[in-house]
């Protein structure tokens, strides 16, 4: 039973994670488009920003023009790839220690997107909150599984 509920939490979280990419991610005065950007829009923008910036300017200007903002965008762009790597390792189950490290690295990367919100004068919307909640559900589904197993083994 414990294994099933952990698996259900994992797949439910993964489904919500996928849906969050189609919802509005940010809003506010810093949004200059007719429709607020979706999670997919922000994901692609944040992931490709460092390469586009360096292509237009230089690596030196990337680190000197607005270092906090630029590094925040670069780190925010890597949240999804690190999350996917953590999920793959979690599903495979051969490297639980690395999976756990990547889980916490993903969590530590999330506040960098908050710097972007402040810098670009936007606020998070429903897609962002679902994205975070879904990632937490997926990443900690094994902990839920383990906790339920412990509770079942203790109760008579």
- pLDDT over threshold 90, residue 17: yes
Query: How far apart are the C-alpha atoms of 76 and 46, rounded to whole Å?
Result: 6
Token pair 């094994």 is found at 142
Residue 101 forms part of a structural domain: yes
122 and 28 Cβ atoms separated by less than 8 Å:
yes
Residue 118 forms part of a structural domain: yes
pLDDT in tens, 103-128: 999 999 999 999 989 988 999 999 99
- pLDDT over threshold 50, residue 2: no
The residues that bridge with 124 in the sheet, in sequence order, are 26
pLDDT in tens, 49-108: 877 777 677 666 766 777 788 888 889 999 999 999 999 999 998 888 999 999 999 999
Query: How far apart are the C-alpha atoms of 19 and 130, rounded to whole Å?
Result: 8
Residue 100 forms part of a structural domain: yes
pLDDT at 81: 95
Residue 152 forms part of a structural domain: no
Residue 135 forms part of a structural domain: yes
Number of structural domains found in the chain: 1
Residue 43 forms part of a structural domain: yes
Residue 151 forms part of a structural domain: no
Residue 148 forms part of a structural domain: no
- In degrees and rounded to multiples of 5, residue 78 shows phi and psi of -100, 0
86 and 102 Cβ atoms separated by less than 8 Å:
yes
Domain residue limits at 116: 2-28+35-142
């Amino acid at each position: 039973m414990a294994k099933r509920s952990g698996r259900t939490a994992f797949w439910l979280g993964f489904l919500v994670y996928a849906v969050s990419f189609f919802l509005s991610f940010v809003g506010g005065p810093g949004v200059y488009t007719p429709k607020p950007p979706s999670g997919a829009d922000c994901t692609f923008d944040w992931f490709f920003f460092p390469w586009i910036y360096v292509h237009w300017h230089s690596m030196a200007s990337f680190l000197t023009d607005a270092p906090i903002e630029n590094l925040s965008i670069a780190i925010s762009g890597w949240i999804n790839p690190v999350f996917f790597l953590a999920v793959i390792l979690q599903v495979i189950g051969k490297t639980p220690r690395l999976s756990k490290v990547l889980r916490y690295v993903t969590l530590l990367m999330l506040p960098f997107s908050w710097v972007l919100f402040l810098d670009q004068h936007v606020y998070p919307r429903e897609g962002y909150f679902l994205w975070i909640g879904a990632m937490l559900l997926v990443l900690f589904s094994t902990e839920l599984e383990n906790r339920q197993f412990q509770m079942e083994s203790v109760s008579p």
